[in-house]
Chains A and B, each alone.
Chain A
Amino acid sequence: MNAGLGFKVSHLQSMLLFALLVSIAFGFLSRRRPIDRVKYIVWSLFLFLLIGVGIGWAMYPFSR
């Protein structure tokens, strides 16, 4: 894949990718047992998306 071309990703895709990768890293960083890691990753991902969408909606009235 030629990265020089540049990836075309939407806002939502960017947020999803970012949230997923950071949640995985946090899960492996802070939890030792696999089941605890999975729980942490799912919870962290959920919060990332909830807060991201929440901030998006909160900013909506000021967007125009």
Chain B
Amino acid sequence: MIDETAAPAAAPQEFRRETMALVIGVAGWLVPGLGHALLKMWGRAAMFFLTVGLLVFLGAGMRGNVFTASGNDAFDSLGYLADLGTGTFYLVARSLETNGADVSHAGGDYGTRFLATAGVLNLLAALHAYEAARGRKA
């Protein structure tokens, strides 16, 4: 016999779980590691905070290019999207780079890659936290 009460009861629970997963994903994007911290995955939370933070700190310190919304071409826009992946750390990078970017040296060019990689890594981590919150094996 089919349990007619099961389906309606499961729908709000599923909706709540999806909403929570989305909140955790966004939190993980805004502050690297926060998504995993909310899931009590402390090791991962600390490591994502440290690795993304260090990449941003080093990238800005090496005077890498922190792209802005007013890019000239598609590569600037892609760089901006990648940099935005660091969430609030994007603002940290902007505030750290008081002298502006200097990509005339190899260090500045490496710095640009460090910043973009930090963003992409953080997006991966946020996606991981989102999937873990949805109940996928993490």
**Which A positions have Cβ atoms within 8 angstroms of B?**
1, 3-9, 11, 14, 17-18, 21-22, 24-25, 28-29, 32
8 closest A-B pairs (Cβ-Cβ)?
A: A4-B98, A3-B61, A14-B110, A25-B51, A7-B61, A3-B96, A28-B47, A6-B63
Residues of the B chain whose Cβ atoms lie less than 8 Å from the Cβ of A25: 47-48, 51-52, 121, 124-125
Residues of the B chain whose Cβ atoms lie less than 8 Å from the Cβ of A5: 99
In the complex, how many angstroms separate the beta carbon of A62 from the nearest chain B beta carbon?
Answer: 17
Q: Are A22 and B121 in contact (CB under 8 A)?
A: yes
Q: Contact mask B34-55 → A, CB, 8 Å, 1/0?
A: 0000000001100110011011
* Interface positions of B from 50 to 84, Cβ below 8 Å from A: 51-52, 54-55, 57-58, 60-63
Residues of the B chain whose Cβ atoms lie less than 8 Å from the Cβ of A24: 47, 51
**Closest Cβ neighbor of A9 among chain B residues:** B107
**Closest Cβ neighbor of B57 among chain A residues:** A3
> Which among B43, B55, B110 is the interface contact of A28 at CB below 8 angstroms?
B43
Main secondary structure of the interface of A (DSSP, over half): helix
**Which B positions have Cβ atoms within 8 angstroms of A?**
43-44, 47-48, 51-52, 54-55, 57-58, 60-63, 96-99, 102, 106-107, 110, 113-114, 117, 121, 124-125, 128, 138
CA distance A32 to B114 in the complex (A): 25
CA distance A30 to B48 in the complex (A): 12
Q: Are A28 and B96 in contact (CB under 8 A)?
A: no
CA distance A4 to B57 in the complex (A): 11
In the complex, how many angstroms separate the beta carbon of A32 from the nearest chain B beta carbon?
Answer: 7
Q: Are B99 and A28 in contact (CB under 8 A)?
A: no
Q: Are B117 and A6 in contact (CB under 8 A)?
A: no
Q: Are B51 and A21 in contact (CB under 8 A)?
A: yes
**Closest Cβ neighbor of B98 among chain A residues:** A4
In the complex, how many angstroms separate the beta carbon of B110 from the nearest chain A beta carbon?
Answer: 4
